[in-house]
A and B are shown apart, each in its own frame.
Chain A
Amino acid sequence: MAGRNGSATRSKRLRKTWWGYPRENGDVGARNYLLVLSGTLYANPTCERVARTLRHSVALTHPLGRCQIGPDIQRTFETLVGHGQNANAGAVIVIDHHREEGCTADEIAHEIAKTGKRVEAINIREDGGAIDATAKATRIGMEMLRELTNERRQEVSVSKLLLGLNCGTSDTTSGLSHNKATGWVTDQVVKLGGRALLAETTEMMGGEGVLADKCVRPALGKRIWRIVEEMEERILACGVDLRGSQPTGDNMEGGLTTIEEKSLGAIQKAGSAPIVDVIPWAKRANRRSGLHVMDTPGHGGESITGIAAGGSQVLIFSTGGGHTINHPLMSTIRITGNPLSAKLQADTTDVDVTDIFEGAPIEVAGRRVYDEVIDVASGKMTKAEILHEDNAFAINRNGPSV
């Protein structure tokens, strides 16, 4: 069985602090990685060579950064900047290839530097080609890691946590068990002055009213209705029935009949916390305590990439079918309440909340998830983190390749 007792409840009182790496701008990292960030697909292998050489480093690579226009290249740029700014990156090396208009390593590094962390830009052409650029980045990265690994974790308040929330491979157990346990955790984090970030606009379809009622201002409620409407319009413009894509085939196999049913289960992750902001994909969340909502697609990788760019250090991935999903930079905790999935996907399930179906109260299961969040934020590695299941860095697009 996957870690039902994994996070031993070591104290009866809910922990109000965790141990992280405070940053100059007031953020706190749950990790202290050297991030090797690719500006364009042609720099990906160089980034990977550097990260393979350097212990405690993470490469983020992607197929974009070239021949994109307008809001689409802007979105790629903001996503890369957001990851560089994420507090889990202690220092950053950005590598581009030649001149990536609107998305150069210099421009990306310039934005990341505003956080106060150390960042260097490498250009493969200017730095003498793939081999010399690799050597230069490796040498700089090694010196950065000498400094990073000499830093110590410090005790900080839960108010410094921006907890990401996402579900995936949902089924009918989602709304009854793991999403409810997640909602309980959301409520505790927000009560302690922290923040949570809910996403997946497609899975708000049918639950807009419930979310709008949680908003602290009517204007935010209207924004929830609008982002869902815009998502639905994009779907309708394709001239197809959404079913089969949302709910997905595995959602339907798991008993979910319609997108409305999936949504009403998905929004249980919100708990009863007030919604204090609604932001576009990959935008940095402001510092106000409460639940923030990000406009993302239901695509798990894209959604959690948006959340990581928003600044989350740790994310609960709440899954019916079980999952391998894992963001390379933002620690991703997978939980399930589906007894069959807890067995089949034990390899990557960090917290098992199947006891909810044996009559355990939500707060008992939720407490176990909360303890895991605090432990992982403080340095405990998730199963997928240990396994290098670095599968979920996916940049959302809103324009064509040209």
Chain B
Amino acid sequence: MPVTAMIIEEGDNVATCLQKVAKGGSVRLMLNGKMGKTLKANQAIPYIHKICIKPLKKGEHCMKYGLSIGVASKDIKVGDYIHVHNIESARGRGDLA
């Protein structure tokens, strides 16, 4: 049974997986209550964490809610687990100031 992952806005780079996903497990995308295509997870994804649904190049903004939630710190492929290891905040970075 694929795990459902919710997309908030069309064009977002990420979807939220509603259950944990094993490496290689399948994830079914859902937007506005409608089921869409199925992806394979390239890594394990913890409960309610995010999967990449549109590729990102290092330095590109990662979109969720149709707005930026940060910047890719490396290239990210479709199916990759997205979290603090590959997305960085652009705000409140006193360490960079």
Contact = CB atoms under 8 A, between A and B. Distances in A.
Interface of A: 171-173, 175-176, 205-207, 209-210, 232, 235-243, 246, 252, 254-255, 257-261, 264-265, 338, 340, 357, 359
A242 B70 CA distance: 13
A322 to B, nearest CB: 13
Contact of A235 (B6, B69, B70, B92): B92
B84 A252 contact: yes
Given A252-B84, A264-B69, A357-B18, A242 B92 contact: yes
Shortest 7 CB-CB distances between A and B: which pairs?
A242-B92, A258-B89, A261-B69, A241-B95, A255-B49, A258-B70, A264-B65
B95 A260 contact: no
Interface string B64-79: 1101111000000000
A71 B25 CA distance: 56
A257 B82 contact: yes
B67 A175 contact: no
Given A257-B50, A260-B70, A175 B89 contact: no
Contact of B94 (A172, A206, A209, A236): A236
Given A235-B92, A259-B89, A261-B70, A173 B65 contact: no
A241 B95 CA distance: 5
26 contacts: A172-B49, A172-B50, A173-B16, A205-B91, A206-B68, A207-B67, A209-B67, A232-B91, A235-B92, A236-B97, A240-B94, A240-B95, A241-B93, A241-B95, A241-B96, A242-B93, A243-B92, A252-B83, A255-B47, A257-B50, A257-B84, A259-B91, A260-B89, A260-B91, A338-B48, A357-B18
A340 B18 CA distance: 11
Contacts of B8: 175-176
A236 B92 contact: yes
Given A171-B48, A176-B6, A176-B16, A258 B69 contact: yes
Given A172-B16, A252-B84, A243 B89 contact: yes
B24 interface: no
Interface of B: 6, 8, 16, 18, 33, 46-50, 64-65, 67-70, 82-84, 87-97
Contacts, number: 97
A353 B85 CA distance: 31
A235 B95 CA distance: 10
Q: For chain B, what secondary structure do more than half of its interface residues adopt (helix, strand, loop), or is it mixed?
A: loop
Most A CB atoms within 10 A — which of B69, B88, B90?
B69
Contacts of A260: 67-70, 89-91
Contact of A175 (B33, B49, B65, B68): B65
A236 B94 CA distance: 4
A265 B90 CA distance: 17
A271 to B, nearest CB: 15
Contacts of A246: 92
A205 B92 contact: yes
Nearest to A268: B65
A209 B68 CA distance: 12
Nearest to B93: A241
Most B CB atoms within 10 A — which of A237, A238, A257, A265?
A257
Given A173-B48, A176-B8, A264-B67, A237 B83 contact: no
Given A236-B97, A241-B94, A257-B50, 5 more contacts: A239-B95, A242-B93, A260-B68, A260-B70, A338-B48
A120 B20 CA distance: 57
A41 B90 CA distance: 40
Nearest to B82: A257
